[in-house]
A and B are shown apart, each in its own frame.
Chain A
Amino acid sequence: MFIPCGETFPDLSGFTLLMPAVSVGNVGQLAIDLIISTLDMCKIGYFYTDCLVPIVGNNPYATAKENAAELSTNAEVYSLPSKKLVVLQLRSIFIKYKSKSFCEKLLCWVENSGCARVIVLSSSHSYHRNDKQLSSTPFRYLLTPSIQKTVQNKIKSLNWQEMEKSPCIPEIEDSDLCVRVPGGGITKLLYDESCCKDIQMAVLLKFVSEGDNIPDALGLVEYLNEWLQIIKPH
């Protein structure tokens, strides 16, 4: 559940929620770290749950000795009211069998808080690409039906590539096609649940391999910025 830092709950109506999926290369999380530190976002609360492995450490975005001693936990919420942005950062993995419960709790919070839309930053195993995907851009997007109505034209104008469907059961040739995000953590679960609940959600992901994934995170944030124009491109 969301617990605010202060006494009152902040008003998040109409805000865009950015969040990572804990996925291959931790690309989504690195991208969210980049967004929080670049925009100097303010911590507004915690997403306290029994679904994530507990971890604590000192402020990862410290810029001076004064703010280096602020404690950080495994799931924190930051905001930038001037751009109607709210960001959830996840810093640890899910406890076994708890990922579905987390999705339910998260989407419940999204609905109750009045957030206008959710954008999930994620990644997928690059070794799962088919021949066509190998020769195209490594970035993909997914839109739930309810967000398609509002952003489809903008996305079309960006010439982005939608995540291709693949056989639900890869071993069977004429198996039904469905959205699969191998290595994407809870990306598919969040996407499917959002489709069912009519939540406006977009997924932006990159095909990556494990390694130094900082450049992948930079690329993913630039991809996001093409759409949201959070900061002016150079």
Chain B
Amino acid sequence: MAATFFGEVVRAPCRAGTEEEEEEEEGRRETPEDREVRLQLARKREVRLLRRQTKTCLEFSLLEKHPCSRFIIAIGSNAVAFLSSFVMNSGVWEEIGCAKLWNEWCRTADSTHLSPTEAFCVFYQLKAHHSVILCQCSCYVAEDQQYQWLEKVFGSRPRKNMQVTILTCRHVTDYKTSESTCSLPSPFLKALKTENFRDQTCCSLLEQPNIVHDLPAAVLSYCQVWNMSAVLYLCYTDVMKLDLITVEAFKPILSSRSFKGLVKNIPQSTEILKKLTTTNQIQSNIYT
């Protein structure tokens, strides 16, 4: 408890998270109907991998069915736009799966069919070389869904001969530094890598005490624990929605081994990116 300046006693937030007594009490008060609702909600929140073409669920994990040597995951609109403009534009990619999930931020309809507007997490394979798989994930995968997402994508047996590259953005206000934030050259890239990642990173490593959360953290943790080679490129930006300058901040990674042979025409890609960001700006105008 804490007292405010006005003399009222309020419950102070606890850094340790949810009070365990609240959860215990919820457990004690839970009726069979409450329990049924909770289980139904858990089923609704299950992560499923589908093949949109056949409207069927994948029986095995994605990477068990489609083994590869390079797996590139873009999480968030800017990272997705980067891969769309610079990588997907430079080859022929076929869709091999789509993750369907429901949560408070990502409300897909409860069916096996996913409309194009609901396809927030799509997996593509390079037709010429099946050794490269991309994931374009523009939806939020909640904490309780991240482990399931990993199981459905990576499966139970980790693939050691695969390099994983994760691209994502965070707001620059999340970056902790002793320097003045005015002097930060936003947007800027930082990297985190697993012990088995032997290549040079394209930017400096993320310093302590900065940490990464959400799906990028879940993927990198999985790779670290299972001794896989993985690198996360994190772009700190002050514009979280689709933004040309933020997307272009990822350009240094085009020269890395993860993208070798995948990028063909950078000027054309830049043009595509400009069109993508312009379209988005017009759509967001309330007068049109």
A: which residues have CB within 8 A of B? Answer: 3, 22-26, 46, 48, 50, 53-60, 62, 68-71, 73-74, 93-99, 125, 127, 182-186, 188-189, 210
CB atoms of B213 and A55 under 8 A apart: yes
Q: Is the beta-carbon distance between B194 and A71 smaller than 8 angstroms?
A: yes
Complex CA gap A182/B19 in Å reads 8
A54 and B194: CB pair below 8 A? no
Which residues of chain A are within 8 angstroms of B37 by Cβ–Cβ distance? none
Nearest CB in chain B to that of A62: its residue: B208
Query: Which of B141-149, B181-189, B245-253, B277-285 lines the interface with chain A?
Result: B141-149
Q: Looking at the complex, which one of A56, A69, A99 makes contact with B211 (CB distance below 8 Å)?
A: A56
A60 and B147 CA atoms in complex are apart in Å by 24
Interface size, B (range): 35 or more
Extra 19 A-B pairs, beta carbons < 8 Å, given A46-B224, A50-B148, A125-B1: A22-B16, A25-B15, A25-B16, A26-B15, A56-B192, A56-B212, A58-B208, A62-B208, A68-B205, A69-B193, A71-B194, A94-B18, A95-B143, A184-B20, A185-B16, A185-B20, A189-B20, A210-B12, A210-B15
Q: With A69-B193, A71-B224, A73-B225 in contact, do A93 and B17 touch (Cβ < 8 Å)? A: yes
Cα A69 to Cα B217 in complex, Å, equals 16
Binding site for A on B (CB under 8 A): 1, 12-21, 23, 38, 143-144, 146-148, 192-195, 205-214, 217-218, 220-221, 224-226, 232
Note all chain A residues with C-beta closer than 8 A to B221: 48, 54-56, 73-74
Contact of A57 among B209, B214, B218 (CB under 8 A): B209
Q: How far is the CB of B63 from chain A (nearest CB, A)?
A: 18
Secondary structure type dominating chain A contacts:
loop
- Total A-B contacts with CB atoms under 8 angstroms apart: 105
In the complex, the answer to whether B14 meets A24 with C-beta atoms within 8 Å is: yes
* Contact indicator B17/A186 (Cβ below 8 Å): no
Task: Tell me if B146 and A54 are in contact (CB < 8 A).
Answer: yes
Does A57 lie within 8 Å of B16, measured CB to CB? no
In contact, A57 and B208 (Cβ under 8 angstroms): yes
Q: Are A183 and B208 in contact (CB under 8 A)?
A: no
